């Protein structure tokens, strides 16, 4: 069997002792113990006042259902239910959220307001284009900013998230190879430190994946790359800055070797926020790169989406971009919706409509607010904050790559926990008790017990110091042997550690009457 050792315990070790004081009703101070909506009664209730329907549905005889077996709640009950639930979440609005590679930065509320303007929010995707000129202009302006900031000539706006953007980029590459009689190229080279989506996407489009080795200092091994670049290679997929938080120093040489071998350079732009306004991927030889608008341009993560993943493209790949796209016409802007309409090489369509318009508005508002100067400052502050954390923690934790600066995230390994009996996971869970969200753990896979900390430009020095003090205190405690603090953590969160093994062995994915007891 293939052995994968992602060393992460997945259920609590033994039953935890309770934290001592317990309430009589299961509440924890202002944190309410909130049942599922299916357990709150309301099977005949509705919180929406609707007029009577006109007539019956006799014309649909035999085609209708008996009724919808779902509960409803009045408005105040619904508000309470969801507000109570919300209070069990951590949020960037509450404290530093150091998830490396995820880029949890402040979400300006102006952007939310703008996205809700009726001309954007209440605009139908198939409204006549004459009635959607403002939306098309916004897409056009967003495209202009993305192209200028990346130094790339074209952008496909429609992909709905980063992984969707990767797929779009690889499909452009595949189409370009096929158009050039190079369809036999079936291999994609991916560094071992890559995001899991990279190999997943490459395999998805039918490419075989080959890993590129990494050097001791956390970069692509040029010799290994050169050895593997052959006539069967369609593309390389490299994240830059990479997932170790380091800039690929040899990126221009990587691009040169790749192009010399007849392959394309796909750059995973997940970490573009570290260089925005300072470095243009187009100057590095990149052929395609997706941009996670929810990372670099601060559209909210929303508990797991929606994202948006426009892909910037080089001259060579631009003709293959999917429909739809915006063009200038005699009566203003127009939308080309048919892949075969005026560029027969377009590879197809990524989704039903124009992409994540609501995210375009937010990202554009973010760009306009920062401007060329502010975006450059974003990159500088993000990098400064990460290096500050690295500097302040390197004497108590072990940085994975101690030499030289990092970019926007600081990566530590678990060597400093050797002999303590405490794992990366335990340490991370103990951070919760101190009021912080854990950092990204066990990623990238190339670093043992990895802890990847990304503060972003959002953090003040005061918050960074508060965070560093908390980690230093925890590290000192860990070395003093206070194992129970870590093994039992979190003690003070809304829940203790959850049993993922039980969840996966006996999956309970929906509420059912017999099990729910209502």
Partner 1 sequence: MRYLPLTPDDRAEMLGVIGAPDIDALFADVPAAARKADLFDLPLHAGELEVERELTALSALNRAAGAGPFFCGAGAYKHHVPATVDHIIQRSEFLTSYTPYQPEIAQGTLQVLFEFQTQVAALTGMDVANASMYDGSTACAEAVMMAQRVNRREKAILSGGLHPHYAATTQTIAHAEGMEIVRLAAAIDAEAAVIDAIDDETACVVVQTPNVFGVVTDVSKIAEAAHAKGALLIVVTTEAVAFGLLKTPGEMGADIAVAEGQSIGNALNYGGPYVGLFAVREKLVRSMPGRLCGETVDAEGRRGYVLTLSTREQHIRREKATSNICTNSGLCALAFTIHMTLLGGTGLSQLARINHGKARELKAAVEAAGLEVLTPRFFNEIAVRTKGSAAALVDDLLADGIVAGVPYSRLDPHAGLDDVLLLCATETTTSEDIAALKAALTQKAA
Partner 2 sequence: MRFTKDHEWVVLEGDVATIGITAHAAEQLGDVVFVETPEPGKVVKAGDAFAVVESVKAASDVYAPISGEVIEGNTVLGDAPETVNADPENGGWFAKVRVSDPSQYDALMDRPAYEAFLATQ
Which residues are paired to 266 by β-bridges? Answer: 237, 288
Binding mask 211-240 for partner 1 (x = CB under 8 A): ------------------------------
Q: Which residues, at least 6 apart from 483, have a Cβ–Cβ distance to it below 8 Å?
A: 420, 421, 422
The entry of partner 2, partner 1, none that residue 1 binds, CB within 5 to 8 Å by partner kind = partner 2
**b vs e for 216-225, b when ≥16 Cβ sit within 10 Å of the residue's Cβ?**
eebbbbbebb
**b vs e for 244-264, b when ≥16 Cβ sit within 10 Å of the residue's Cβ?**
bbbbbebbeebbebbeebbbb
Q: Residue written as tokens 């056009």?
A: 140
Site stretch for partner 1 (CB under 8 A), options 6-14, 224-232, 260-268, 471-479: 6-14
Q: Which residues, at least 6 apart from 207, have a Cβ–Cβ distance to it below 8 Å?
A: 170, 174, 186, 187, 188, 234, 235
**b vs e for 475-506, b when ≥16 Cβ sit within 10 Å of the residue's Cβ?**
bebbeeeeeebbbbbbbebeebbeeeeeeeee
* Residue closer to partner 1, measured from CB, 247 or 467: 247
* Residue closer to partner 2, measured from CB, 355 or 449: 449
* Residue closer to partner 1, measured from CB, 231 or 302: 302
* Residue closer to partner 2, measured from CB, 316 or 445: 445
Could you give the angle at the alpha carbon of 398 between the alpha carbons of 397 and 400, nearest 5°? 140
Site stretch for partner 2 (CB under 8 A), options 60-68, 432-440, 486-494, 496-504: 496-504
Q: Which helix (H) or strand (E) holds 391?
A: helix 357-393
- Asked if 418 touches partner 2 (CB under 8 A), the answer is no
| Spatial separation of the C-alpha atoms in residues 119 and 122, rounded to whole Å | 6
Is residue 235 within 8 Å of residue 266, measured between CB atoms? yes
| Nearest of 117, 133, 478, 457 to residue 298 by alpha carbon | 457
The entry of partner 1, partner 2, none that residue 376 binds, CB within 5 to 8 Å by partner kind = partner 1
Inter-helix orientation angle 133-150/357-393, to 10°: 30
The entry of partner 2, partner 1, none that residue 8 binds, CB within 5 to 8 Å by partner kind = partner 2
Residues 488-517 that bind partner 1 (CB under 8 A): 488, 490, 493-500, 502-504, 507-511
- Asked if 43 touches partner 1 (CB under 8 A), the answer is yes
Site stretch for partner 2 (CB under 8 A), options 3-11, 241-249, 347-355, 450-458: 3-11
Site stretch for partner 2 (CB under 8 A), options 145-153, 392-400, 413-421, 497-505: 497-505
- Asked if 1 touches partner 2 (CB under 8 A), the answer is yes
Q: Which residues, at least 6 apart from 349, have a Cβ–Cβ distance to it below 8 Å?
A: 158, 322, 323, 324, 339
- DSSP string over 154-209: EEE----SHHHHHHHHHHHHHHHHHHTT-TT--EEEEETTS-THHHHHHHHTT-EE
Site stretch for partner 2 (CB under 8 A), options 111-119, 146-154, 334-342, 499-507: 499-507
* Residue closer to partner 1, measured from CB, 83 or 480: 83
Reading the block at residue 271, the tokens are: 């970490």
- DSSP string over 283-308: GGT-SEEE--TTTTT----TTT----
Is residue 140 within 8 Å of residue 333, measured between CB atoms? yes
The entry of partner 2, partner 1, none that residue 300 binds, CB within 5 to 8 Å by partner kind = partner 1
* Residue closer to partner 2, measured from CB, 245 or 444: 444
| Spatial separation of the C-alpha atoms in residues 408 and 271, rounded to whole Å | 8
Q: Which residues, at least 6 apart from 213, have a Cβ–Cβ distance to it below 8 Å?
A: 191, 192, 221, 224
The entry of partner 2, partner 1, none that residue 419 binds, CB within 5 to 8 Å by partner kind = none
* Residue closer to partner 2, measured from CB, 203 or 504: 504
CA distances from 465 to 82, 99, 388, 459, 479 (A): 33, 17, 9, 10, 21
DSSP 53: P
- Asked if 342 touches partner 1 (CB under 8 A), the answer is no
Residues 137-156 that bind partner 1 (CB under 8 A): 137-138, 145, 148-149
Binding mask 286-315 for partner 1 (x = CB under 8 A): --------------xxxxxxxxx-------
- Asked if 3 touches partner 2 (CB under 8 A), the answer is yes
| Spatial separation of the C-alpha atoms in residues 434 and 62, rounded to whole Å | 59
Site stretch for partner 1 (CB under 8 A), options 179-187, 226-234, 354-362, 475-483: 354-362
* Residue closer to partner 1, measured from CB, 29 or 128: 128
The entry of partner 2, partner 1, none that residue 249 binds, CB within 5 to 8 Å by partner kind = partner 1
- Asked if 418 touches partner 1 (CB under 8 A), the answer is no
* Residue closer to partner 2, measured from CB, 341 or 504: 504
| Nearest of 452, 494, 442 to residue 98 by alpha carbon | 452
* Residue closer to partner 2, measured from CB, 1 or 53: 1
Site stretch for partner 2 (CB under 8 A), options 5-13, 217-225, 254-262, 390-398: 5-13
Please pick, from the candidates 193, 243, 356, 420, the single residue that binds partner 1 as defined by CB under 8 A: 356
The least distance separating partner 1 from the CB of residue 479, rounded to whole angstroms, comes to 22
The least distance separating partner 2 from the CB of residue 411, rounded to whole angstroms, comes to 21
- Asked if 54 touches partner 1 (CB under 8 A), the answer is yes
- Asked if 508 touches partner 2 (CB under 8 A), the answer is no
């Amino acid at each position: 069997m293939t052995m994968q050792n992602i060393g992460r315990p997945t259920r609590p070790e033994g039953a935890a002792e309770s934290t001592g004081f317990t309430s009589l009703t299961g509440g924890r101070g202002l944190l309410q113990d909130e049942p599922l909506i299916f357990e709150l009664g309301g099977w005949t209730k509705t919180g929406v006042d609707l007029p009577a329907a006109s007539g019956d549905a006799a014309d649909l005889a035999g085609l209708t259902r008996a009724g919808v077996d779902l509960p409803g709640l009045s408005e105040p009950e619904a508000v309470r239910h969801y507000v109570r639930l919300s209070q069990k979440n951590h949020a960037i609005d509450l404290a530093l959220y150091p998830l490396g590679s995820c880029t949890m930065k402040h979400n300006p509320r102006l952007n939310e307001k703008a996205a809700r303007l009726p001309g954007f929010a209440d605009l139908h995707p198939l409204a006549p284009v004459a009635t959607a000129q403002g939306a098309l202009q916004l897409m056009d302006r967003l495209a202009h900013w993305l192209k200028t900031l990346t130094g790339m000539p074209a952008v496909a706006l429609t992909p709905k998230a980063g992984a969707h953007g990767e797929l779009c980029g690889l499909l452009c590459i595949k189409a370009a190879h096929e158009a050039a009689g190079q369809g036999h190229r079936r291999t994609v080279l991916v560094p071992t430190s890559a995001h899991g989506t990279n190999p997943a996407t490459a395999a998805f489009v039918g490419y075989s994946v080959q890993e590129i080795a990494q050097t001791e200092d956390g970069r692509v091994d040029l010799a290994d790359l050169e050895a593997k670049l052959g006539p069967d290679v369609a593309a390389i997929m490299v994240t830059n800055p990479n997932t170790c938080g380091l800039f690929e120093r040899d990126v221009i040489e990587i691009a040169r070797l790749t192009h010399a071998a007849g392959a394309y350079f796909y750059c995973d732009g997940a970490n573009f926020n570290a260089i925005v306004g300072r470095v243009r991927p187009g100057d590095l030889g990149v052929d395609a790169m997706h941009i996670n608008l929810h990372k670099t341009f601060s559209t909210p993560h929303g508990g797991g989406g929606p994202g948006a993943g426009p892909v910037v493209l080089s001259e060579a790949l631009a003709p293959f971009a999917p429909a739809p796209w915006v063009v200038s016409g005699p009566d203003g802007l127009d939308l080309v919706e048919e892949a075969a309409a005026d560029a027969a090489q377009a590879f197809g369509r990524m989704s039903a409509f124009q992409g994540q318009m609501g995210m375009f508005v937010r990202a554009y508002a973010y760009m306009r607010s920062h401007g060329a100067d502010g975006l450059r400052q974003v990159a500088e502050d993000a990098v400064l904050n990460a290096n500050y954390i690295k500097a302040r923690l390197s004497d108590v934790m072990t940085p994975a790559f101690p030499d030289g600066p990092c970019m926007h995230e600081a990566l530590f390994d678990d060597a400093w926990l050797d002999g303590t009996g405490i794992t990366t996971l335990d340490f991370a869970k103990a951070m919760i008790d101190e009021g912080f969200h854990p950092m990204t753990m066990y990623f990238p896979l190339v670093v043992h017990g990895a802890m990847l900390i990304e503060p972003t430009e959002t953090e003040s020095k005061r918050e960074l110091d508060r965070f560093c003090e908390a980690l230093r205190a925890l590290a000192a405690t860990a070395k003093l042997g206070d194992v129970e603090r870590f093994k039992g953590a979190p003690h003070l969160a809304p829940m203790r550690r959850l049993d993922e093994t039980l969840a996966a062995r006996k999956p309970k994915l929906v509420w059912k009457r017999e099990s729910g007891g209502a």
